[in-house]
Structure 1
Amino acid sequence: MTKPAPPSWEHLDAGALLVAQAIAEALTSPVRELGARAARELLASPPSDRPLTPLDRVEALTVPTRSGPLRARLYHPPGSTAGELRPALLYLHGGGFVLGTLDGVDEVCRALAARSGWAVLSLEYRLAPEFPYPAALEDSVDTLAWLRGSAPGHGIDPDLIAVGGDSAGGNLATALCLHLRNHGLPLPVAQVLVYPAVDDRFATPSWTRFADAPLLTTADARWLWEQYMGPGLDGGVDQYAAPMKAASLRGLPPALVLTAEVDPLRDDAEAYAERLRQDGVPTTAVRHAGVFHGFFTEVGDFPQTDAAIDDVVRHLRGIAAARAVPTS
């Protein structure tokens, strides 16, 4: 007998419902019961021999950080020529700080580079529980510093670097911006936050309304957060772990915040967008209807994915165009 779908699934469109059903069949146990290692093996995306968006140049790189070398992948936009400096997006993948790989975001990074004209650097940061907070944030800080220092050698304009990511990667992008602002360091020109995890209270209505949403349930989200925080965290959660705790968001880069309708994180992310606006940060927020958490990286599965990529492309192109206008 087929188990009835949770009530929140009624908000999914027909295509998303089919994908949700397929995930439910493949994911026979919740992530929190599988554990980190088994969940990684089950959910890992294999590399594609025939990507949907071919690019002439995709470089495998090693980024030096305080913890040692990290793997990264640099996607060059079409038409890049020797000596030409392009803007770049540092992209931080999602996966609840526990899951996620370079291959899992390969297609979306390719699409972003191809459509925007920006290079995209995708980072394989350290994962919890083996490396709890603040390991991933330290990796992000070090990678951005490395990218700024080595940018011209990779065809990148060091004055036109944005940061972004989805879910846990969105958290890291927000925390990175806060860290740079608070330490008086150069800020990225923009932030791209796709259903970012920004609060540790699990208190907004979407955590209850979409508790049994596809792919990411509230119970699994709590477990993932516990893995990220680790067993030895003293003194509570700070603003770099949960950016909603920041006393002020003033002075942060212009932001694009994308959310999915059926997602426990939705209300937190949208509340963060509103706080950005209230603190004077130019912010665009877009909710994509009929889809669930994780849709952004599923290129080719949802029309909403294509629309969301276009949202990011418009944001990045607008930033580049504004920077190109000479001041009087």
Structure 2
Amino acid sequence: MPKPLPPHGERLDADALLVAMTLAEAMPTPVRELGAEAARRLFATAPPDRPLTPLDRVDELTVPTRSGPLRARAYHPPGPPAAGPRPALMYLHGGGFVLGTLDGVDEVCRAMAARSGWAVLSLEYRLAPEHPYPAALEDSFDALAWLRGSALEHGIDPDTIAVGGDSAGGNLAAALCLRLRDLGLALPASQVLVYPAVDDAFARASWREFADAPLLTSADARWLWEQYVGTDPEAVDPYAAPMRAASLRGLPPALVLTAEVDPLRDDAEAYAERLEGDGVRVTRIRHSGVFHGFFTEVGVFAKTDAAIDDVVRHLRGVAAARAATTSAS
């Protein structure tokens, strides 16, 4: 007798359907009931002995921050050394502010570096509930400052550094851009937001339509959010929930990627619309047939490969625009 389809199975492509069915068996208990420690053990992944995208150079780094040293990993594009410093993407992993590690995004960082020609710095920021808001944002802020200050010694162009991330990492990237703008500091070259968590209202239609979506349900998303910011909506500011910002004007150009079957989908797409409305150049792409989390699963979803190519095209366009501006001046 065939197994019943998981929720929204009829909307998933073949890769996503297979993963959804596997997850249903492997995760009979919701994340919110497992708790942080058990969920971390369940989701812990070690990189394979032979990565799908081998690189000539991957550096394990320690980044100094106000809270102490943090682990980071720098991925250098393959091939001969560049004639000059390279552009770089500072990447912030997802995991609902509670989960996530450097290893969990190792393959996607390798792929982005190999295909784009950009260096990628992946940061292991502090996690909630042990370190609630604004710990992760402070870590991201300090890491970007460090990267800019030490860029040349790592072969990186300090004037062409973008920030990006998936889910919670997308939230941090968006919030970091807002914070830098409000402080009058140099902005990143771009922001790469992959199904970012940007609103704390949980009110748009996708929260109801995909409340029982694979991997991330609406109830689990709310629980993860509460570990990060608590349960008092009055305590939430725009650097926790970027949709709360009075204006998004003056922010860096953005790429916003979303998944069709995802409670966060409508919030992320509404944020992209607000960016456009406030004069920010935005590329919006929705990937059909997949659910939250697909972006980092290299070799599992065909749509992962397509989404990485979206990021690569965007980063190459940013670099080309920067180069044109520099040569014109």
Give the match for residue 244 of structure 2: 245
Q: CA deviation at 1:78?
A: 1.1
Is the Cα–Cα contact under 8 Å of residues 129 and 230 in structure 1 kept in the other structure? Answer: no
Q: Over aligned residues, Cα RMSD in angstroms?
A: 1.5
Question: What is the alpha-carbon distance in structure 1 between the residues aligned to residue 230 and residue 62 of structure 2?
Answer: 27
Structure 2 counterpart of 1:13: 13
Paired AA for residue 322 in structure 1: A
1:309 aligns with 2:308: yes
Report deviation, 1:84.
Answer: 3.0
Gap change, CA 1:80 and 1:74, over 3 Å in 2:
farther
Alpha-carbon distance in structure 2 between the residues aligned to 1:262 and 1:284: 20
**What is the CA–CA distance in structure 2 between the aligned matches of 1:142 and 1:109, rounded to whole Å?**
20
Offset, 1:48: 1.5
Q: Residues 188-199 of structure 1: matches in 2 within 5 Å? A: 188-199=188-199
| Within-5 A mapping of 1:242-281 | 242-281=241-280
C-alpha deviation, 1:80, in angstroms: 4.8
- Is structure 2 residue 291 aligned with structure 1 residue 297? no
Task: Confirm or deny: 8 A CA contact 1:9 1:262 kept in the other structure.
Answer: no
Q: Structure 1 regions of 5+ residues with no counterpart?
A: none
* Corresponding pairs, count: 327
Q: Structure 1 stretch 3-12 or stretch 47-56: which is displaced more?
A: 3-12
Deviation, 1:45, is 1.1
Which residue number in structure 2 is paired with residue 228 of structure 1?
Answer: 228
User: Which residue number in structure 1 is paired with residue 328 of structure 2?
Assistant: 327
Structure 2: stretches of 5+ with no match in the other structure: none
Q: Is the 8 A contact 1:177 1:253 kept in 2?
A: yes
- Say whether the 8 Å CA contact 1:9–1:17 is kept in structure 2: yes
Query: CA–CA distance in 2 between the matches of 1:195 and 1:167?
Result: 5
Q: CA deviation at 1:181?
A: 0.1
On the 8 A contact 2:86/2:156 being kept in 1, the answer is: yes
Give the whole-Å Cα distance in 1 for the aligned partners of 2:68 and 2:292. Answer: 32
Deviation readout 1:213-268 (Å, 9 max, x if unpaired): 0000000000000000136x684210000000000001100000000000000000
Q: Distance in 1 between matches of 2:59 and 2:287?
A: 32
Return the offset for 1:8.
2.4
1:6 Cα offset (Å):
4.9
* Counterpart amino acid of residue 109 in structure 2: C
In structure 1, C-alpha distance between the alignment counterparts of 2:122 and 2:112, rounded to whole Å: 11
Structure 2 CA distance for aligned equivalents of residues 109 and 208 of structure 1? 32
Query: Helix, strand or coil for the counterpart of 1:65?
Result: coil
Structure 2 Cα separation of the partners of residues 110 and 79 of structure 1 = 14
Is this contact kept in 2: 1:99–1:127, CA < 8 A? yes
Q: Return the alpha-carbon distance in structure 2 between the equivalents of residues 221 and 191 of structure 1.
A: 23
Q: Is 1:25 matched with 2:7?
A: no
Contact 2:211 2:217 in 1 (8 A): yes
Is this contact kept in 2: 1:174–1:193, CA < 8 A? yes
Other-structure match for 2:282:
283
1:97 is the counterpart of 2:97: yes
Q: Distance in 2 between matches of 1:234 and 1:271?
A: 20
Helix, strand or coil at the partner of 2:69: strand
Q: Tell me, what secondary structure is at the counterpart of 2:222?
A: helix
Correspondence 1:184 to 2:184: yes
Q: What is the distance in 2 between the residues matched to 1:323 and 1:140?
A: 23
Question: Do 1:90 and 1:120's aligned partners in 2 also have CA atoms closer than 8 Å?
Answer: yes
Deviation at 1:28, TM superposition (A): 1.9
- 1:49 corresponding residue in structure 2: 49
The 5 A counterparts of 1:121-136 are: 121-136=121-136
Report % sequence identity. Answer: 79
Counterpart Cα distance in 2 of 1:299 and 1:89 = 18
The answer to whether the 8 A contact 2:7-2:214 is kept is: no
CA distance in 1, matches of 2:174, 2:200: 14
- 1:208–1:264 CA contact under 8 A, matched in 2: yes
Query: Matched residues in 2 for 1:300 and 1:75: separation?
Result: 19
TM-score (structure 1 length as normaliser): 0.97
In 2, the alpha carbon distance for the partners of 1:22 and 1:62 equals 36
Query: What is the distance in 2 between the residues matched to 1:185 and 1:77?
Result: 28
Shift of 1:121: 0.1
